[in-house]
Amino acid sequence: MTTIALLLITGLGLGALYFLIAAGLSLIWGLMRVLNFAHGAFFTVAAYAGWSASGLVGGASPELQWLVAVAVAVVVGGAFATLTEVVLIRPLYARHVGQVLVTVGLALATISLVQGGFGSDPKRLALPAWMTGTTTIVGANIPNTRLLVIAFALAVFALLIFFLRRTRFGLIVRAGVENRAMVQALGIDVQRAFTLVFAIGGMAAGLAGILAGTYYGTIDPGRGTSMLIFAFIVVIIGGLGSVTGSAVAAIVVGVLQQFLNFYGAAGVGDFSVVLLLAIVLLVRPGGFSGAST
pLDDT in the model for residue 290: 61
Question: Phi-psi bin for 128: left (phi > 0), alpha (psi -120 to 50), beta?
Answer: beta
pLDDT in the model for residue 292: 41
pLDDT in the model for residue 177: 64
CA atoms of 47 and 69, how far apart (whole Å): 8
Of 30, 35, 22, the C-alpha closest to 240 is 30
Hey, is 190 helix, strand or coil? Answer: helix
pTM score: 0.92
How far is CA 120 from each of CA 7, 64, 211, rounded to the nearest angstrom? 30, 27, 19
**DSSP state, 208?**
H
pLDDT in the model for residue 293: 38
Segments of the chain scoring below 50 in pLDDT: 292-293
Beta strands (DSSP E) in 86-244 are 123-124, 134-137, 140-143, 218-219
CA atoms of 264 and 260, how far apart (whole Å): 5
pLDDT in the model for residue 130: 92
**DSSP state, 126?**
P
User: Using an 8 Å Cβ cutoff, are 20 and 234 in contact?
Assistant: no
What radius of gyration, in Å, describes the C-alpha atoms of the chain?
19
